[in-house]
Structure 1
Amino acid sequence: MSEADWLTSGTVEVGAKRVFYREAGEGPPVVLLHGAGSGDGRDWTFSVFRELARAHRVIAPDRPGIGGSDAIPGMDDPRAQARHLRAAMSEIGVENPLLVGHSYGGTVTLAWALETPDLPGMVLAAAVGFPLQAPGLFKLLAGPAGAAFAPLLAGPLHKGAMKAAIKGAFGPQPAPPEYVAYGLDHVWRKSGEIRNNAREIAHVSPALADMQARYGTLNIPAEVLAGDRDANVPADSQARRLAEALPEARLTMLPGHGHMIHVTAPDALLDAVGRLGRA
């Protein structure tokens, strides 16, 4: 069955800025927030999107400046992204959804939760919740040299760079062939999008330094998931600390899994959503 058989899409405007989203299913709302460097909301179609849609209204927006969504002022700050996406979801009748965020999408999830304390719950999968050292490549792309280097990554260097990035993100698990094809065809094909991704990673730490001081106030059921082989967002400096800092958090470690746990361990995410639904 093709995506067209079960998935719909749409756009909504917030402050004259478009937000593109994919949607499926009916029931209690779940919003899926994609990471940085993993394309856009379509990333979730390789994960839990379709299964969750059996019992939920599931929406996966493209975050600002990515995919079909317009860039917004201040979008390097996850709090600005959270406010914008929350307003977009409100425009389509989604209020206080259960949030599921992967990687930087988890950062936006935390920012959203800090401003919406009555959320029913959140799943933080390989999430970035504390300041971290941005990889050198992202610093380069976020800086002045990025204007010259990003077109190379989107063009002649794309195939090799994307294969290496996917292998590193999935490792030690193999990447599904269909995900590799998606990455080669769809991810980091536009130099502007590459730089937007790089800036949000390179510039996230000041916002996280402020956010982390308030995690103890989040009385929201939280499921924190991480692979113990995640080289991109190490669990010891992120997931384990999040589980300790969030008052109502439950930690699930996934042995032998890397960063892309929403794809390599979808059942763990589905179980986490199920637990929150029963909370």
Structure 2
Amino acid sequence: MRVSVGDVELYVHEKGEGRPVVALHGGPGLDGSVWFPALDPIAERGYRILAPDHRANGRSDAGDPAGWTVPQMADDVESLIGALGLERPVVFGWSFGSFVAQSHMVRHGSAAAYVLMGTVAEPGALALVGEQLERFEPEPLRRQVTDSWEREATVATPEQCRQLWHDQIPFQVADPTGPLVEQLIAEDEIVFRPEVLRHFAAGGEYGMEDLREPLRRVEVPTLVLAGRHDRTTAATSAHELAQLLPNCEEVVFERSAHMIPAEEPEAFVSAVLSFLERV
């Protein structure tokens, strides 16, 4: 499905029927396919999953590069909700998508609830990635994952994007040498967009804003999901975010890093459904 949000059309991955859940993917440069099959059990329980590719990501239109910003993408979410006439939507952001969701909370706050996964409280927390890379184990994989982060600012083709992502996956899971690494590589169906990854990676903070003060005034029910071993978005910073939000629940997954839906799928589905049924 393609939906106009003004100057561009967004491609929207859709599954299920019922109350809408707008699922915002990470990256940038990835697409909404990363949500599946993780959200299939949610769709089967009476929820309509709508996973848009952010502008300039996946199969969505690029538009003017001046609009490749987190606030504009948050406005796109609001336009999508309006265009589809969604009632009592839940906005669910993962990683970069959680930065867009935070911006939507502050700029619009129109969702009935929010879920933020693999998130941080402020842009400075992303600098911790460098420290994690320096001590990443096993050591033979350290150069591979470090190079993958360094290539983000210069990646030129979708094929290079795919290789970069595959090289980075060991860093994103709790067990860098476990079978999940090869599983995630084998299941990859992402339409990569190198130009938008370069755009955001060059700034170092992926366009994230420091919204801590305005977020303190957002009373919409929110769920923060964090992986205890997350090397990209530290659980300590996610906890800071959960503490400052006035109406927030927090779930920490003790055996996960950044890929919670794949690392602890049953616990992930249980936590999300429990929250959705109460908001």
Fold conserved (TM > 0.5)? yes
Partner of 1:27: 18
Match of 1:242 in 2: 241
Instruction: Give aligned pairs, total.
Output: 255
* Correspondence 1:110 to 2:102: yes
Query: 1:32 aligns to what SS in structure 2?
Result: strand
The CA RMSD over aligned residues, in Å, is: 2.7
Structure-2 change in CA distance of 1:67 and 1:158 (3 Å): closer
| C-alpha distance in structure 1 between counterparts of 2:71 and 2:159, whole Å | 32
Structure 1 residues 20, 241: CA separation in 2 closer, same or farther (over 3 Å shift)? same
Within 2, Cα distance between the matches of 1:84 and 1:186? 21
Q: How far, CA to CA, are the matches of 1:36 and 1:20 in structure 2?
A: 16
User: Aligned letter for 1:51?
Assistant: P
- Preserved contact between residue 100 and residue 123 of structure 1 (Cα < 8 Å): yes
Task: Give the secondary structure class of the aligned counterpart of 2:250.
Answer: strand
CA contact (8 A) 2:92 2:116 kept: yes
1:51 matches 2:41: yes
Q: Output one character per residue of 1:174-209: Cα deviation in whole Å (capped at 9) or x when no partner.
A: 4264421244x6364x4324324525764424xx22
Taking structure 2 as the reference length, what is the TM-score of the superposition?
A: 0.80
Aligned AA (2:41):
E
SS at 2:50 equivalent: strand
What is the CA–CA distance in structure 2 between the aligned matches of 1:90 and 1:231, rounded to whole Å?
A: 36
Q: Is contact 2:105-2:215 (8 Å) kept?
A: no
CA gap 1:70/1:129 in 2 versus in 1, 3 angstroms = farther
- Whether 1:131 and 2:104 are equivalent positions in the alignment is no
State how far apart, in whole Å, the 1-side matches of 2:151 and 2:103 are: 26
Counterpart for residue 265 of structure 2? 266
Q: Summarize the Cα distance change of 1:67–1:219 in structure 2 as closer, same or farther, 3 Å threshold.
A: same
Query: Which residue of 1 is the match for residue 184 of structure 2?
Result: 179
Unaligned runs of 5+ in 2: 131-147
Q: 2:4 aligns with which of 13, 17, 20?
A: 13
Task: Give the letter for the 1:100 counterpart.
Answer: F
Q: d(CA) in 1 for partners of 2:234 and 2:97?
A: 16
Question: Which stretch of the first structure deviates more once superposed, 74-83 or 14-23?
Answer: 74-83
Q: Which residue of 1 aligns with 2:135?
A: none
Rate the CA distance shift 1:104–1:126 in 2: closer, same or farther, 3 A. Answer: same
Counterparts in 2 of 1:1-279, with a 5 A limit? 10-36=1-27, 39-48=30-39, 50-54=40-44, 55-73=46-64, 74-132=66-124, 133=126, 141-142=152-153, 146=154, 150-151=155-156, 154-155=158-159, 159=163, 161-172=164-175, 174=178, 175=180, 177-183=182-188, 186=190, 188=192, 190-196=193-199, 198-199=201-202, 202-205=205-208, 208-209=209-210, 211-236=211-236, 238-270=237-269, 271-279=271-279
SS in 1 for 2:22: strand
Aligned AA (1:19): L
Partner of 1:83: helix, strand, or coil?
helix
Q: Go from structure 1 to structure 2 and tell me whether the alpha carbon gap of 1:203 and 1:260 turns closer, same or farther (over 3 Å shift).
A: closer
More divergent stretch after superposition (267-276 vs 52-61): 267-276
Give the Cα–Cα distance (whole angstroms) in 2 for the partners of residues 199 and 60 of structure 1: 26
Does the C-alpha gap of structure 1 residues 85 and 203 become closer, same or farther in structure 2, counting only changes over 3 Å? same
Using the TM superposition, name which of 24-33 and 65-74 deviates more.
Answer: 65-74
Instruction: Give 1:67 deviation, angstroms.
Output: 0.2
Query: Closer, same or farther in 2 for the Cα pair 1:158/1:225, shift >3 Å?
Result: closer
Provide the rounded CA distance (Å) in 2 between the counterparts of 1:126 and 1:203.
14
The runs of 5 or more residues in structure 1 that have no matched partner are: 1-9
CA distance in 2, matches of 1:125, 1:269: 10
Distance 1:171 1:43 in 2: 18
